[in-house]
Amino acid sequence: MLDVHNLSAAYGQSEVLHNVDFSVAPGEIVAVVGRNGMGKSTLMKSLIGIIPPRSGEVKVDGTDVSTLASHARVARGLAYVPQGRQIFGTMTVRENIETGLVVTGKTLIPHEIFVLFPILKEFEKRRGGNLSGGQQQQLAIARALASDPKILLLDEPTEGIQPSIIKDIARVLRQIRDMTNMCIVVCEQVLSFVLDVADRILVMENGRIVHSAMREGVDEAAIARFLAV
Amino acid sequence: MFMGYSLGEIGSIFAMQAFAGLILFSVFVLMALGLAIIFGQMGVINMAHGEFMILGAYMTFLTSHLFQTYAPQAFAGYFFVAMLVAFVASGAIGLAVEWLLIKRLYKRPLDTLLATWGLSLIMQQAFRSIFGAREVGVQLPDWMMGSLQVTDTIEVQINGLFVMTLTLMITAVVALLLFRSRWGLQVRAVVANRVMADAAGIDTRRIDRLTFGLGCGIAGIAGSAFTMIGSTSPTAGQAYIVDTFLVVVFGGAQSLLGTIASAFTISQSQSTLEFFLTGSMAKVTTLLIVIGLLMLRPQGLFVLKVRK
Ligand SMILES: Nc1ncnc2c1ncn2[C@@H]1O[C@H](COP(=O)(O)OP(=O)(O)O)[C@@H](O)[C@H]1O
Ligand SMILES: [Mg+2]
């Protein structure tokens, strides 16, 4: 479903992402873990097209999208939940979700979104900026889901969120996968969350994927060592 | 400055000048509306905005001529057609300019300033070549002439009432578009966070083009209104661009209500003061008022409050 070949990306002259290779199958949840500054966000941004790749390919269903603008990638089935959520603060909850709907040409928000996030239905007329952190995270995920994606990218969805809500987010991600057979790529530093959601774990260090393991029978201590500061 | 007038006279003067100020207010609101949505969304300051207004004024002039020559029996309704023609002409040229010029300069704000300034010179020369350097005025249909006698000393012009009603309607339509339409939803998302809007699936470049076209189109309608307070000449737009900037900055670039309140304050103080002082002293006083208020509220008159 998602095939990344030899992907490199740079800020100006300094290359931050070096020849990254991985694939994700439909219905699979892959977690990319690594400490701060290892290149996780850069990977996500180059997948969605915020940073143009220096070289390499990003294939969705076999077609390369790496030269397309972000919105065109969204039209091909990618969706992005950024680090820090970046919801549109002055717009209502409903309007935030509708921005994701634009690319589909539909006018009605799919019922399933409110089933996954009932709180958003309750607060649909509030301004996004006035929600709590956890609610904003749900809103950012809902906005991404509204574009009816095949591939969902999430960048540190647990950042700054209380533990009880982190559990909810893990549950919702698995629920989405079970409902739609979507493939999900999530960047994380919180090991418990990763072990909770992922089918496969990739470790990123200094812009390279240095380790890969299936969730089943993973050596937790080894992954924890990669995350230790 | 109030010497030599009785209290009653001063009251009437204020009322009538306030009313005269309302046409100016209309022109300001329409101009500022276009400038503000373009600036708010793209960060582009359209130095040629005054020329888009004048283009609308020339279109109004042309339409009135065509009606006089070919359909004098329908002359009473020409102004409605003229506004539509002005909107379409200015809007279409705006779309073309965005496509040919502006979209290549988005990452270079200073260059857009220069480029649109150059464009304003080109447009002025084009007006001069096509319509001549002389000022032209339009003739109003009979029903728009004359005034309503409100009291013995106060009378208001019908064309002023008409233009103001129209302006309020256009403003309402723009507000409706911004807050209820798909285009408006996308504009607000782009204004809030361009990169994220694109990553959420919004074709931001397409929205830019539409917004630029719409902003210029509204300037064209402002041009129709303008024909009632000034005579149209190739450079007449220049006088309005600075005032319009003032309106936008004073109102707070992102707020429709702020733009209206700001246009009202500026046009009213300008028009009322002009009666008692010279034109330039009126301008100085207006500027001082604006500067004073901006020092109290640097973010403009109206800003939305939400958690960061
Ligand atoms: N906008 C930027 N300009 C220059 N360098 C950047 C920028 N953003 C991130 N970097 C650098 O790229 C590297 C990877 O950053 P990032 O992808 O944000 O890591 P992570 O998300 O894993 O914390 C870091 O060394 C960081 O300093
Ligand atoms: Mg990051």
The ipTM, to two decimals, is 0.92
B61-80 mean pLDDT = 89
Residue A4: CB within 6 Å of ligand 1? no
Q: Which of A38, A42, A159, A186 to mutate to test the pocket of ligand 1 (most atoms within 8 A of CB)?
A: A42
**pLDDT band at residue A95, thresholds of 50, 70 and 90?**
very high
For B219, what's the count of Cα atoms within 13 Å in the CB-facing half-sphere? 32
Left if phi > 0, otherwise alpha if psi is -120 to 50, otherwise beta: which for A152? Answer: beta
Each domain of chain A, given as residue ranges in start order, spans 2-85+150-227
With 70 as the cut, is the pLDDT of residue A139 above it? yes
B interface with A, Cβ–Cβ < 8 A, is 182, 185-186, 188-189, 192-193, 195-205, 304, 306-308
What's the Rg (C-alpha) of chain A? 17
Is B308 a residue whose pLDDT tops 50? no
- Residue A123 makes CB contacts below 8 A (sequence gap 6+) with A93, A131, A135
A51 lines ligand 1 (CB under 6 A): no
Q: What is the DSSP secondary structure assignment for residue B145, as one 8-state letter?
A: S
- The DSSP line for B74-92 is GGGGHHHHHHHHHHHHHHH
- Taking an 8 Å cut-off on Cβ atoms, the answer to whether A90 and B188 are in contact is yes
Portion of chain B with pLDDT greater than 90, in percent = 35
Is B198 in Cβ contact with A88 (below 8 Å)? no
φ and ψ at residue B168, rounded to 5 degrees: -65, -35
**Maximal CA-CA distance, chain B:** 66
What is the predicted pLDDT for the residue at A3? 94
The helix/strand/coil state of B93 is: helix
Residues 161-200 of chain A whose Cβ lies under 8 A from any Cβ of chain B: none
The chain B residue lying nearest A145, using CA atoms, is: B200
Domain housing B60: 7-296
Task: Tell me the per-residue pLDDT of B1-46, one tens digit each, with 9 for 90 and over.
Answer: 666 777 777 777 777 777 777 778 888 888 988 888 888 888 888 8
Q: What is the pLDDT of residue B1?
A: 62
B190 in a structural domain: yes
Which residue has its alpha carbon closest to ligand 1 atom 26?
A37
Residue percentage of chain B with pLDDT more than 70: 95
B126 CB contacts (<8 Å, ≥6 apart)?
Answer: none
Query: Given A75, A88, A102, which is nearest B192 (Cβ)?
Result: A88
Largest CA distance in chain A: 48
- Kindly state whether residue B106 falls inside one of the protein's structural domains: yes
To the question of domain A2-85+150-227 being in CATH 2.40.37.10, the answer is no
3-state class (DSSP) for residue B129? helix
Task: Please answer whether residues B233 and B135 qualify as being in contact, where contact means their C-beta atoms are separated by less than 8 angstroms.
Answer: yes
Q: Whose CA is nearest to atom 2 of ligand 1?
A: A11
User: Which residue, among B104, B107, B99, B97, has the nearest Cα to B47 in the 3D structure?
Assistant: B97
What is the total count of domains within chain B?
1
Cα B143 to ligand 1 centre (Å): 67
Of residues A7 and B265, more confidence is placed in: A7
Residue of B nearest to A101 (CA): B201
Chain A residues with CB-CB distance to B183 below 8 A: none
